[in-house]
A and B are shown apart, each in its own frame.
Chain A
Amino acid sequence: MKMVEVKNVSYSFDENTSVIGDVSFDVEKDEFVSLIGPSGCGKSTLLRIIAGLIKPSGGKVLYMGKKVEGTNNGMSFVFQDFALLPWLTNLENVKLGCSGLILSEKEAEKKSSVLLDNLGLTGFENSYPNVLSGGMKQRVGIARALVSNPRVLLMDEPFSSLDELTAETLRSDILYHLKNKNLPVNAVVMVTHNVEEAIELSDKVVILSKKPSKVSAVRTISLKRPRNKRGKDFLSMMDFVYATLAK
């Protein structure tokens, strides 16, 4: 079953600067898809178009077969720079994620606090984001994105503001939560510029060309998890992605 279908999406700021040329791909149920491409190819813009934050100049996006017009409850978003509101406590920030749902204050609070616990932030409910480290901030950001039980999780370079060690831990934590079905998330689309990260996490990699971007390759990655980053297959997959990007 197709969760998300991107159909001939194009985007340009004005007549002269076309960013996204013509991009089409599908996201199947239970699939983790990475979007990878050179900088400036409109990866983040594309993700925002899927989310319904930005209107495409041409083409359309379908979510569960229905055209995306504006944001919806089924898809949630994790921001590169966390985008936590500094004046809300961590718990309130997560609770903000429930805004689109019809929930009592109490239920929202309980859900949010359970998620914060699951992501290892017990005890930080009532402090403000400014006391947290980068990795912890992103955990709050992820909790906020998950609290509404989205079916599709969109992540815009979620690990690139973190140092490598923190990113590594967070990646395996997220993978654990996603693959162990603790969460109702059916599909993930992640934008990244880190090839290794893409191959480590994804079931499918969509490689974009430089702007105006087109899909230059789609590769399914069927390597067994947990993946060995030094394994032969892993490395040859990396070679393939690098070679495609360099074209």
Chain B
Amino acid sequence: MYSLGILGLALSLIVDTAFSWARMFAALAFSVVISLLVGIYAATHKTAEKIIIPLVDILQTLPILAFFPFAILIIVSAIPGALGINAAVVFLIITSMVWNIIFGVYESVKSLPKEYMELSRLYGLSRWDRLTKIQIPAAMPRVVEQSILSWSIGLFYLVTSEIFSTANAAYAVKTGIGAAIASPAITGNIISYSMAIGIFIIFVIATRFLFFKPWEDYVTRYTRNSGKKQSERQWPLNPGQIGTMGARFIRKIEKGNISRIVKVLPGMQNRQTAALTPNRPSRHETYWKFAPYIILFLAAALTLYTAVSNHALVLAEETVLTSLSFSFARIWLAFAISMCIGVPICVYTIFLTRHGSKYTLLFQIISSIPATILLPAIVSLLRSTPHSGELVASIVFVLSSIWYIIFSTLNTAKTMPQNIFEVKDIFRVKGWKAWKNIYLKAIIPGLVTGSVTAIAAEWNASIIAEYFTVGASVVSQVGTGIGKLLDLTLASNNLGLMMLALINLTVIIILINTFVWKRLYSKVSRAYA
């Protein structure tokens, strides 16, 4: 009987996870299509480029999860019932996945040699041919590369939003892994909680090997050693069965002639453009020069206006700013801890073991396990400690930021000059000298890129890390925080305060991006050019 119960539980968990995965695949499909359209459009139209690229740059660092309560409110009121809440979740995942893929497409199309376009004009290719025979295949390797990253970001959003949704019966996702783990963990049902996590991890690994690996092999097959043709053999499924746009497009293209010429390049550039990522902002620095001043001005004007006209708003603003500063301190403290742990791990895997690439896959898998899935366990472990709410929030912040730091650093390691190791050996650079002159300096670009996303991930996590509820009961909460404030405004339907909080959050993030990260970026890219 008991084993039957376990089996039933496993089955129901598998169904739950499958539902979650369906949402993920739907979101990924939308994201890839949107990215291809937007990215190629931005890369080929000067005016569009000037608007789209800075906009995407801002959007990708915004903590979109914080907008989730707002999105639920809007979407569910437009599409009632289960469809509405699912649409809200998928929409949310798209907003987490799409930005880096857009950049990937944009950069690979932008860096296509001019000759390809000249070629297409010489042979009189139609716009459709140009798209399917040149631009899309050129973009695909990076689409896949970025999709893998997006997938783990998306999982974080998926689980978080599912857990989050259970807090409010009206907006609850009925079937999903996030929803399935929330209650057993709190009621102390260790078996079903660990089984849920186990099944989740199996799904993560299966997706990596059965979906992304073959997809990656397929779109990059002509960039690797062309003599060996191994990719064709590794492809376990017919591309048509996978049903991805990319695979189908590419199969078509294979029949074309131009593709043979196009085949040489994209992947090779791929590596190079990846290295250049930290330089990216310098391309449109000019926009950034003005954005913060405009925002500052608007904010000042708004405060002045409201201070004069509306006393209640001033009070609300005070609440929001207090919450914001508490979260701010918490998030940056957690970020500092993540750095202290992440940097030695990176140095070890890149320089001291020299098997960084082997670890990358392991890290990719571990990092796709969202920190928030562990939240219930952390909560129940720490429930009795003093200040458990603060502790829980900090741990979730560290867990959600550290992978971005490690990941991005390991990625830049791929593009580091390989003879660094030989230089280190030949000149016998060791100990503190090696740390100072080689290890730390080599990973700085990766750390800077990773930090931006790490901080964004923390802001995102704040929405459940600072105020975690299961059913109607609050399980863990901090004293004051922006995530908590947003949650409370959703519960009390206080749309005005929610808007005000979101505006404040957005402003502060844009300001930090401009005054901290963009400056660091341009410093680093100047020194490492």
A residues engaging B (CB < 8 A)?
Answer: 48, 51-53, 70-71, 73, 76-77, 79, 81, 83, 85-88, 92, 96-100, 128, 130, 144, 148
A85:B426 contact, CB within 8 angstroms: no
User: Is B427's CB within 8 Å of the partner chain A?
Assistant: yes
Partner among B417, B426, B441 whose Cβ is within 8 Å of the Cβ of A77: B426
CB<8 Å pairs between A and B, sample of 22: A53-B422, A71-B428, A77-B422, A77-B426, A81-B417, A81-B419, A83-B419, A83-B420, A83-B422, A83-B423, A85-B441, A85-B442, A86-B417, A86-B529, A87-B527, A87-B528, A96-B429, A99-B427, A99-B433, A99-B434, A100-B428, A148-B427
B426-465 CB contact bits vs A (8 Å, 1 = yes)? Answer: 1111100110011001101000000000000000000000
**Chain A residues whose C-beta falls within 8 Å of the C-beta of B528 in the assembled complex:** 86-87
> B401-430 interface mask toward A, CB cutoff 8 Å, 1 = contact, 0 = none?
000000000000000010110110111111
User: Looking across the interface, which residue of chain A has its beta carbon closest to that of B423?
Assistant: A83
Given A85-B437, A87-B441: A130 touches B427 (CB 8 Å cut-off): no
Query: Are A97 and B427 within 8 A (Cβ)?
Result: yes
Q: How far is the CB of B330 from chain A (nearest CB, A)?
A: 33
A54 to chain B: closest residue by CB? B422
Task: Tell me whether A51 and B444 are in contact (CB under 8 A).
Answer: no
Give the CA-CA distance A111 to B132 in the complex, in Å: 59
| Minimum C-beta distance from B361 to chain A (A) | 22
- Nearest A residue to B524, CB-CB: A87
Interface contact B437-A88, CB-CB below 8 Å: yes
Q: Is the CB of B427 within 8 A of A88?
A: no
Q: Which of B417, B426, B441 lies at the interface centre, i.e. has the most chain A CB atoms within 10 A of its CB?
A: B426
- Chain A residues contacting B529 (CB-CB under 8 Å) are 86, 130
Min C-beta distance of A190 to chain B, whole Å: 16
Are A96 and B422 closer than 8 Å at their CB atoms?
Answer: no
Q: A52-B425, A99-B433, A148-B427 are in contact. List 5 more A-B contacts (CB 8 A).
A: A51-B426, A71-B426, A85-B417, A87-B444, A99-B430
The majority secondary structure among interface residues of chain B is helix
Give chain B's interface residue range (CB within 8 Å of chain A): 20 to 34
Q: Chain A nearest CB: distance from B199 CB in Å? A: 39
Chain B, residue nearest A76 (CB) = B426
Q: How far is the CA of A83 from the CA of B425 in the complex (A)?
A: 12
| Bound: A68/B118 CA distance, A | 55
Q: A87-B441, A88-B441, A128-B527 are in contact. Are A96 and B425 (CB under 8 A)?
A: no
What is the bound-complex CA distance between A87 and B529, given in angstroms?
9
Whole-angstrom distance between the Cβ of A14 and the nearest chain B Cβ: 14
* B-side contacts of A51, CB under 8 Å: 426
Q: Complex Cα distance A70/B426, Å?
A: 9
In the complex, which residues of chain B have a beta carbon less than 8 angstroms from the beta carbon of A53?
Answer: 422, 425-426
What are the 4 tightest A-B residue pairs by CB atom distance, in nearest-first order?
A100-B428, A83-B419, A87-B441, A99-B429
Q: Which residues of B contact A100 (CB under 8 A)?
A: 427-429
B427 touches A79 (CB 8 A): no
| CA A41 to CA B437, docked complex, whole Å | 34
Q: Using Cβ atoms and an 8 Å threshold, which residues of chain B touch A73?
A: 428
Output the nearest chain B residue to A130 by Cβ-Cβ distance. Answer: B529
The answer for the CA separation of A73 and B427 in the assembled complex, in Å, is 8
Quote the shortest CB–CB distance from B506 to chain A (angstroms): 34
In the complex, are the beta carbons of A92 and B426 less than 8 A apart? no
Q: Name B422's contact: one of A70, A79, A86 (CB within 8 Å).
A: A79
Nearest residue (CB) in B for A99 is B429
**Chain A residues positioned under 8 Å from B441 (CB to CB):** 85, 87-88
Q: Chain B residues with Cβ under 8 A from A71's Cβ?
A: 425-426, 428
Nearest B residue to A82 via CB reads B419
Query: Contact: B438 with A85, CB < 8 Å?
Result: yes
* Smallest CB separation, B418 vs chain A (Å): 9
Residue of A nearest to B434 (CB): A99
Inter-chain CA distance A76–B426, complex, in Å, is 7
CA distance A81 to B422 in the complex (A): 12
Q: Judge whether A83 and B417 touch: CB under 8 Å.
A: yes
Give the distance to chain A from B252, nearest Cβ to Cβ, in Å: 37
Cβ distance A70 to chain B, nearest Cβ, rounded Å: 8
Q: Mark B497-529, 1 if CB is under 8 A from A, else 0.
A: 000000000000000000000000000000111
Q: How far is the CB of B346 from chain A (nearest CB, A)?
A: 16
Taking a contact as CB atoms under 8 Å apart, the answer to whether A92 and B427 are in contact is no
Residue of A nearest to B425 (CB): A71
C-alpha spacing A88/B433, complex, angstroms: 12
Question: For chain B residues 323-373, which have a beta carbon within 8 Å of chain A?
Answer: none
> What is the bound-complex CA distance between A52 and B422, given in angstroms?
10
With a cutoff of 8 Å between Cβ atoms, the chain B residues found around residue A144 in the complex are: 427
Q: Are B437 and A92 in contact (CB under 8 A)?
A: yes
Measured CB to CB, the closest approach of chain A to B5, in angstroms, equals 51
> Nearest Cβ distance between residue A143 and chain B, in whole angstroms?
12
The complex places the Cα of A144 from the Cα of B430 at a distance, in Å, of: 16
- B185–chain A nearest beta-carbon distance, Å: 46
Contact A96 to B527, CB < 8 A, known contacts A83-B417, A87-B441: no
* Residues of chain B lying within 8 A (CB to CB) of residue A48: 422
